[in-house]
């Protein structure tokens, strides 16, 4: 005998939304830079402290890094310092992706105000991220020169 599956309230209303708060914030951020992205786009900004240039490969136990990740569907931040890590992603609401040793999830600002989070991290931990030597990875054409002043203002 086959049981009838009950529909959830969301399914009764026509399914789930394809637009999330994270997706809307990511698109608004990119629009503020006046850039035209491909359909599925990404921007990663990595900053380090001291003389070391940020690299894709690093030791989270001994190095300090801040990474902003903005994708067409969501955005998030990754911060590591002295072996502790916080990785927070924002789709509908901020959520912990693995670990949140620094307790960043409850204090995540809107993407447009992520500079406040960067400055708070610097103040609390006595750090200074090198914005002038940030590593940018993206599939959005011509983003490096447009993004440089934004990064310096973080």
> For 39, which DSSP code?
S
Q: What is the DSSP string of 67-122?
A: EEEEESS-EEEEEEETTEEEEEEESSSEEEEEEETT--GGGPPPGGGHHHHHHHHH
**Pairing mode of beta strands 42-48, 65-71:** antiparallel
CA distance 145 to 135: 12
pLDDT tens string, the chain, 154 residues long: the values are 555 555 544 444 454 445 788 999 998 998 998 888 888 999 999 999 977 778 777 777 788 999 999 999 999 999 999 999 999 999 988 999 999 999 999 999 999 999 999 999 999 999 999 999 999 999 999 899 999 999 999 9
């Amino acid at each position: 005998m086959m049981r009838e599956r009950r529909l959830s309230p969301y399914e009764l209303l026509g399914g789930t939304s394809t637009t999330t708060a994270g997706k809307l914030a990511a698109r608004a951020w990119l629009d503020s830079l006046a850039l035209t992205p491909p359909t599925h786009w990404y921007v990663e900004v990595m900053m380090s402290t001291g003389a070391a240039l940020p690299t894709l490969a690093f030791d989270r136990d001994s190095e300090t890094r801040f990474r902003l990740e903005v994708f067409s569907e969501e955005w998030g931040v990754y911060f590591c310092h002295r072996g502790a890590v916080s990785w927070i992603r924002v789709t509908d609401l901020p959520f912990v992706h693995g670990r949140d040793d620094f307790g960043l999830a409850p204090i995540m600002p809107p993407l447009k105000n992520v500079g406040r989070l960067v400055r708070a991290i610097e103040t609390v931990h006595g750090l200074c991220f090198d914005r002038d030597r940030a590593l940018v990875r993206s599939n959005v054409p011509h983003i490096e020169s447009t993004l440089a002043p934004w990064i310096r203002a973080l």
